[in-house]
Structure 1
Amino acid sequence: MPEGKIVKALSGFYYVASEDRLIQCRGRGVFRKNKINPLVGDYVVFQAENDKEGYIMEVKERKNELLRPPIANVDQAFLVFSAVEPDFSTTLLDRFLVLVEYNHIVPIICISKMDLANEEQRAGIEHYAEEYRSAGYEVILTSSETEAGVEKLLPHIENKISVFAGQSGVGKSSLLNSLRPDLKLKTSGISSHLGRGKHTTRHVELIEVANGHVADTPGFSSLEFLEIDPEQLTACFPEFQEASENCKFRGCLHVKEPKCAVKAGVENGEIPGYRYEHYLDFLLEIKDRKPRY
């Protein structure tokens, strides 16, 4: 039986790309009984009734999956944050980074709307960009308006499944329109009443861009650390993970333990103080999380 990849899910139908065909499929009835929920990004085996319709017979094993947005087998996430409108937030960025790192997805930080930043704001963004690069992250500064930096995204997209994630209103759809002008994705500015973007993306769909697939997602509707344990949080901060190899105690949580290499890194300026503060906040949030039964 032929195989393919789900590139869109809408109203109970799964659109499977296979070679040069796009087949509209339904899932087998047994899927619901066995609690199998096909996701965009899944590699599947399907049975085609004709050139346009068929049934998904099997969902291949996933390397990862996200529940919100619902997508599987993601290689990397472009975390899109605007320089201004809305203002750049390291707190929110670090929250996204932790969720992406935990799901073993490679993050690429993309700071948009650089054309709207004044000289002082630009200097601040470039300072943050260098600090995140020092932590091991790829950081790309862009503007959809002037298209500056947009071409730097293309080599990362090729042959991969990528998600564009971030707050509403930061310009995810605008960036995709810059990468593929024929898409003409609907964009919307910031709501003056709410101070945040108006939602314009309603479903998850993989779009062909630069020999890869990109999902313009409705965004993470939940940014809570529901699955992460306190002991796993260090691994979600790459510079902490590296420094922690020199901590005196194995399993150090970098809070009150003596001879902690992470705290030493903060004190000597090797680790930014705001990254450590966010780590402590997230750790407390995880510890205070109500148990689920």
Structure 2
Amino acid sequence: MQKGQVRKAISGFYYVYADGQTYQTRGRGNFRVKNMAPLIGDFVDFESDNLTEGVLLDIYPRKNELIRPTVANVDWGVIVMSAIEPDFSSYLVDRFLVYLEAKNIRPIIYVTKIDLLDGTAKEEMLHFKTYYESIGYTMILSDYPESSTSLKKLVASIGKGMAVFMGQSGAGKSTLLNQLMPELGLETGEISTSLGRGRHTTRHVELHPVGEALIADTPGFSTIDLVEIEAVELPSLFPDFVALRDQCRFGGCMHINEPNCRIKEAVASGEIAPYRYEHYLQFHDEIVGRKPVYQKNKNKR
């Protein structure tokens, strides 16, 4: 029996990497009985006498699991955003950040098309970078086509971890993956002039080694749902709020209607970026206002 990691799954086969080799395996029947399925990124026990006829035996507990894309045990989430065409959206960035915080995945914000900005727009982008980095996030501004410095910084930031790419459609995610892994030759989608967003171009999830990192080639998508996040946990998903929340008058302050709220004071003074607080309120209203999901009682006759 060996331990390995699932790095690709196609047509019922799971490709497990272990000790420098890739083994083609199939899952045991008891996975179906338990309603379990291995995911890309899973650590598994398997046995195999050769590279093409292995059998998966067990799946190790996951530290996290994503639905879009379907992948497990993620260390880093690279949020790929465009500086222009489509325009940079701090709302979308914050939405992805909250999603990743809830999954205990460290974010990296990577902004493409910086070379298309004029001087004023570049200054504004630098303000975003300064703020996000002040609250503990990594934000990388692309320097393509001038040099590959930003790509090297991205790979260095991921280190030995496993990363998924997500973010704005049309931001150049497939182009970025092609720059990191030229052997992939991924198609890049054109921007739809009528819809203002790019076509999704990648088709399946696979982990690829880049330096010491593992990078998942995942289908791009333009937004995510916050259905797994409850309103009470939302304040803890904003690190700029967390740093000051103990100074609020009331424990468990939601930073909305409570008096003597340190967060609202920090927003008023500019210590916390007002746009961050606005997005917090929007996310809160969305979570509170969503319809409850009722499960059918299977025992009801």
Query: Percent identity among equivalent residues?
Result: 48
Partner in structure 2 of residue 181 of structure 1: 182
Instruction: Tell me which moved more, 273-282 or 52-61.
Output: 52-61
Partner in structure 1 of residue 126 of structure 2: 126
Structure 2 CA distance for aligned equivalents of residues 15 and 221 of structure 1: 29
Q: Is the 8 A contact 2:16 2:22 kept in 1?
A: yes
Partner in structure 1 of residue 298 of structure 2: none
Structure 2 CA distance for aligned equivalents of residues 283 and 193 of structure 1: 31
Q: Is the 8 A contact 2:98 2:237 kept in 1?
A: yes
| Letter in structure 2 aligned against 1:282 | F
Structure 2 CA distance for aligned equivalents of residues 12 and 145 of structure 1: 40
Residue 63 to residue 199, structure 1, CA distance change in 2 (3 Å): same
Q: Secondary structure at the match of 1:149?
A: helix
Partner in structure 1 of residue 159 of structure 2: 158
Q: Structure 1 residue 249 and structure 2 residue 233: aligned?
A: no
Q: Is the 8 A contact 1:6 1:15 kept in 2?
A: yes
Structure 1 CA distance for aligned equivalents of residues 15 and 223 of structure 2: 26
Gaps (5+ residues) in structure 2? Answer: 295-301
Structure 2 CA distance for aligned equivalents of residues 11 and 220 of structure 1: 23
1:78-114 C-alpha deviation (Å, 9 max, x unpaired): 1110101111001111110000000000011111111
Partner in structure 2 of residue 109 of structure 1: 109
Q: Is the 8 A contact 1:65 1:71 kept in 2?
A: yes
Q: Structure 1 residue 58 and structure 2 residue 58: aligned?
A: yes
Partner in structure 2 of residue 195 of structure 1: 196
| Letter in structure 2 aligned against 1:262 | I
Q: Secondary structure at the match of 1:80?
A: strand
Q: How many residues align?
A: 293
Q: Secondary structure at the match of 1:173?
A: helix
Partner in structure 2 of residue 33 of structure 1: 33
Partner in structure 1 of residue 297 of structure 2: none
Structure 2 CA distance for aligned equivalents of residues 75 and 205 of structure 1: 15
Residue 46 to residue 110, structure 1, CA distance change in 2 (3 Å): same
Q: Is the 8 A contact 2:41 2:74 kept in 1?
A: yes
| Letter in structure 1 aligned against 2:177 | L
| Letter in structure 2 aligned against 1:159 | K
Structure 2 CA distance for aligned equivalents of residues 74 and 151 of structure 1: 20
Structure 1 CA distance for aligned equivalents of residues 36 and 252 of structure 2: 36
Q: Is the 8 A contact 1:157 1:209 kept in 2?
A: no
Structure 1 CA distance for aligned equivalents of residues 12 and 119 of structure 2: 49
Q: Is the 8 A contact 1:68 1:219 kept in 2?
A: no
| Letter in structure 2 aligned against 1:288 | G
Could you tell me how far 1:24 is from its partner in structure 2? 1.6
Gaps (5+ residues) in structure 1? Answer: none
Q: Is the 8 A contact 1:205 1:215 kept in 2?
A: yes
Alignment of 1:1-293 (within 5 A): 1-146=1-146, 147-220=148-221, 223-293=224-294
Could you tell me how far 1:216 is from its partner in structure 2? 2.1
Could you tell me how far 1:158 is from its partner in structure 2? 2.3
Structure 2 CA distance for aligned equivalents of residues 36 and 167 of structure 1: 31
Structure 2 CA distance for aligned equivalents of residues 261 and 100 of structure 1: 25
Q: Secondary structure at the match of 1:41?
A: coil
Q: Is the 8 A contact 2:173 2:220 kept in 1?
A: no
1:43-91 C-alpha deviation (Å, 9 max, x unpaired): 0111215222312110011111111111100011111101011110011
Q: Secondary structure at the match of 2:183?
A: helix
Q: Is the 8 A contact 1:6 1:40 kept in 2?
A: yes
Partner in structure 1 of residue 299 of structure 2: none
| Letter in structure 1 aligned against 2:186 | L
| Letter in structure 1 aligned against 2:235 | T
Q: Is the 8 A contact 1:80 1:172 kept in 2?
A: yes
Could you tell me how far 1:186 is from its partner in structure 2? 2.2
TM-score relative to the length of structure 2: 0.93
| Superposition CA RMSD, Å | 1.5
Structure 2 CA distance for aligned equivalents of residues 34 and 64 of structure 1: 19
Structure 2 CA distance for aligned equivalents of residues 209 and 80 of structure 1: 17
Structure 1 CA distance for aligned equivalents of residues 27 and 223 of structure 2: 27
Q: Is the 8 A contact 1:45 1:59 kept in 2?
A: yes
Instruction: Tell me which moved more, 257-266 or 48-57.
Output: 48-57
Q: Secondary structure at the match of 2:286?
A: helix
Q: Is the 8 A contact 1:68 1:221 kept in 2?
A: no
Q: Is the 8 A contact 1:157 1:210 kept in 2?
A: no
Could you tell me how far 1:286 is from its partner in structure 2? 0.6
| Letter in structure 1 aligned against 2:120 | E
Structure 1 CA distance for aligned equivalents of residues 70 and 47 of structure 2: 24
TM-score relative to the length of structure 1: 0.95
Could you tell me how far 1:282 is from its partner in structure 2? 0.4
